[in-house]
């Protein structure tokens, strides 16, 4: 799976950045399973179009419909510089199996440490 293009970018009322991406293929259950191993995912399969939301606290949230190639990604205002490439990395490593999962967990932990460091310096 690859990102084909970013079709929309907005600054939200809370200052977060929202981007809508188009992928080269529809979102699959395999990608959602990958996400569930990294953060919190909620799935609503009973809807006419199966909907999901994913959150990686302080990083990003992702929302979309399973089987749809479009996805909405929101980046927290305070940490956009640290998380700007995070969705791109999720898409890339989701196709790498367990090795990709280990790599993403390492990236997640490194970003978390930077977030903690930045937060403790502002207190």
What pLDDT was estimated at residue 80?
Answer: 87
Q: Are 39 and 24 in contact (CB under 8 A)?
A: no
Query: For residue 64, what are its two tokens?
Result: 């979309």
107-123 pLDDT tens trace: 999 999 998 888 777 54
In the predicted model, what is the mean pLDDT of the chain?
Answer: 91
What's the number of domains the chain is made of? 1
List the domain range (segments joined by +) for residue 97: 3-121
pTM for the model stands at 0.87
Q: In the structure, what pLDDT confidence band is assigned to residue 14 with cuts at 50, 70 and 90? A: confident
SS3 of residue 12 by DSSP: coil
């Amino acid at each position: 799976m690859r990102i084909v293009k970013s079709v929309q970018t907005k600054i939200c009322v809370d200052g977060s950045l929202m981007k809508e991406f188009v992928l080269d293929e529809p979102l699959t259950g395999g990608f959602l399973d990958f996400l569930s191993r990294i953060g919190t995912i909620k799935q609503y399969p009973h809807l006419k179009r199966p909907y999901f939301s994913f959150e990686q606290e302080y990083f990003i949230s992702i929302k979309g419909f399973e089987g749809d190639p479009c996805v909405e990604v929101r980046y927290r205002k305070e940490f956009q510089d640290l998380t700007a490439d995070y969705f791109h990395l999720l898409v890339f490593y989701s196709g790498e199996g367990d090795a990709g999962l280990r790599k993403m967990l390492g990236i997640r932990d490194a970003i978390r440490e930077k977030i903690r460091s930045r937060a403790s310096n502002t207190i």
